[in-house]
Structure 1
């Protein structure tokens, strides 16, 4: 963030939890040199806490819930070749500082833990201008966060040679969280 950019409150003060029905956590990686491979997690949590001191976000994803629309690949992703679900059943994320810029962009930094390895990550994204109230009287806020990691830095290093040259899987993985956050009572 440049020193001339002003920030605004990311969310009204309070605790906000992701609505799992209207939120998703996804990833994509270059595949076979010709395509993008996409997947996500169906069992995850995210909690945003907004206070006068700033905004934090914590989240987890259950590795067993990885979904790439193919049961055989889902099973392979849970092995030590990839996420090692038996030894590391959760992926964890913590952001200690999220900032909403005046134009609606969000920036921040945090830590991501995969396979027991924790690495710093930088985040970018967008947040809704203001919360809305759904038909059931719940206050909601939209937040999209993105980062790109080198999967090998987390010990996720399986690969195979590609017949056209290079590796079958890229090392850079884009991660996107689209969160529909609901304000919690209290």
Structure 2
């Protein structure tokens, strides 16, 4: 047997023995939501709620940090007015037909910070544009190093013009308040993934 062939076989064998990366927690879409608010004519607050978030939280091998990977379904938005809902789903706002989801992936965060609260940085993709995003995690008193249900609350602010939503600058504030209430369920790993 040639040396390259043996090396290739060893690499394949090692890959099959290494644990597969699997999510430790799944975001429960039925019990999670995201809220947004933006000022209209600088006086009235325009609010909406995305009723479907899914994704997962994956712990590091040492179970000391976690990465949050969340998708928000744009069409799941609920608003008090059907007319305003159609407008925010239209091309000049969320453009839901072309960009059906909002995606956030966090940088690794310490589990202690998830319990005590703190900064949550990562990348937010909205309308096909990916930008750094900064959020604040509120204290949850929910140790993720133990298998259980957890609820994490997050809030922050983005500039809508950063994501190509620059229409109606005189009528709508550029600043958008975002909040997420994420309910996590422990995702049991398969026997060979510890």
Superposition TM-score tier, normalisation by shorter sequence = 0.7 to 0.9
Structure 1: 5+ residue stretches without partners: 1-13, 133-137, 161-166
Q: Do structure 1's residue 128 and structure 2's residue 137 form an aligned pair?
A: no
Name 1:55's counterpart in structure 2: 66
Q: Find 2:121's aligned residue among 101, 109, 112.
A: 109
TM-score of the two chains, using structure 2 as the length reference? 0.75
Q: Is the 8 A contact 1:66 1:77 kept in 2?
A: no
Q: Offset at 1:42? A: 1.7
Aligned pair count reads 163
Q: Offset at 1:103? A: 7.3
Q: Do structure 1's residue 95 and structure 2's residue 98 form an aligned pair?
A: no
Name 1:177's counterpart in structure 2: 180
Q: Do structure 1's residue 149 and structure 2's residue 152 form an aligned pair?
A: no
Name 1:71's counterpart in structure 2: 82
Higher helix share: 2
- SS of the equivalent of 1:21 reads helix
Larger Rg: 2
Higher strand share: 1
Q: Is the 8 A contact 1:29 1:169 kept in 2?
A: yes
| RMSD over equivalenced CA pairs, Å | 2.3
- Distance, in Å, in 2 between the alignment partners of 1:64 and 1:102 is 29
Residues 49-74 of structure 1: CA deviation (Å, up to 9, x unaligned): 12226210011112222221221211
TM-score of the two chains, using structure 1 as the length reference? 0.78
Instruction: Assess, with a 3 A threshold, how the Cα gap between structure 1 residues 127 and 170 changes in structure 2: closer, same or farther.
Output: same
- Distance, in Å, in 2 between the alignment partners of 1:23 and 1:83 is 20
Instruction: Assess, with a 3 A threshold, how the Cα gap between structure 1 residues 117 and 93 changes in structure 2: closer, same or farther.
Output: same
Name 1:17's counterpart in structure 2: 26
Which 4+ stretches in 1 moved above 4 angstroms? none
